[in-house]
Amino acid sequence: MEELGRLEDLPLEYRQELLKQNLVPLWPSLRGVLPPKIPTRQTKPIFWEYASIRPLLLEAGDLAPIEKAERRVLVLANPGHGIEKMQASSAIYLGMQLLLPGEYAASHRHTPNAVRMIVEGEGAYTTVDGDKLQMHRGDLILTPTGLWHEHGHEGQEPVIWLDVLDLPIVYYMETSYHEEGKSQNVSNGQLSKLYVHGGVLPTSLNPKSNSQYPMLRYAWADVRASLEVMAKQDPPVEALQVTYVNPLTGQDAENILGFYALMLRPDQTLTLPARSPASVYHVIEGEISVHIAAEQFKLSIADTCCAPGYTPVTLKNHSSTEPAYIFMVDEAPLHRKLGVYEIR
């Protein structure tokens, strides 16, 4: 391919005149924005160890009272994007959030979609659009765009969860904002319980009948049981994976990011093909290794890593006797909507 001209090859006076008119010549930068065959990616393979994060997060509990911090979070930032941008990939934000006994985080709503993957502790809850959802380890709780939500802790020990938001892409589109609200009327999580069993939908529902998100809590006990049933299939399924979906539509649970749970059999090695979206892996149970390009990470419970798109990922269960369970996030729903989703 013929080499394109460089910006510095243009006369200085010409460049200065372009600058005055807020004009930029495309040809010197064309290969930067349209590289051949594979995109330029800022997302780097990166690993965050929970054992290192946890003491710093607990210390933050002493240093920053919730009245001053509002949301006590340590952001898992990818250095490829610059840690000051607080993003794990081009569309994924990750943060570890702490809530101490007796604390309450006031009701608010925002345009980015969010989910909470509960890491440790009992007694906390999130109320989303009036639905009070108890938090247990491994549960996934949705706080979709525009829905009021608040957090509270009625237990005795610290509760920590992994926040996952599509904040980077919503911020990039200049549509990111939040709004403070009042405490909600609570329904004690009854709505989400109606949608737990696959293939069975309530047909008469007065409250929330127009809700786009009828199921806001996906209990880990139910998700784990589904994976265990899949593991017993004959002939065996190689990739034991389930997708968190909206039970009304059958589509992804939220609009921009996709959420999944994977089970690795004892000693299993599973290679996921190179796909266009970046992805995140968070261990719920077990100990695994993750190979991403030239990088290899060893993950234990609550550890997290990120992989760029267009890169194969290999997962290996280190145990010869017990399965490993992984929570996965990717940008696939966004890529499909934009028509750029690829598997290579």
At 48 the three-state DSSP class reads strand
Residues 199-235 as b or e (16 or more Cβ within 10 Å = b): eeeeeeeeebeebebbbbbbbbeebbeebeeeeeeee
d(CA 270, CA 313): 8
d(CA 344, CA 331): 16
The percentage of residues in the chain with a pLDDT greater than 70, rounded to a whole number, is 95
Residue type, 66: I
Residue 234: per-residue pLDDT: 83
d(CA 142, CA 78): 24
Q: Tens of pLDDT along 161-212?
A: 999 999 999 999 999 999 998 777 777 656 677 777 777 777 765 555 557 8
Residue 290: per-residue pLDDT: 98
pLDDT of 56 > 90? The answer is yes
Which pTM value belongs to this model?
0.93
Q: Tens of pLDDT along 129-163?
A: 888 999 999 999 999 999 999 999 999 999 999 99
Q: Tens of pLDDT along 67-81?
A: 766 789 999 999 999
Domains in the chain, start-ordered, CATH in brackets? 42-338 (2.60.120.10)
Q: Tens of pLDDT along 293-313?
A: 999 999 999 999 999 999 999
* Mean pLDDT to the nearest integer, 322-330: 98
In this structure, what are the phi and psi dihedrals at residue 28, rounded to the nearest 5 degrees? -70, -25
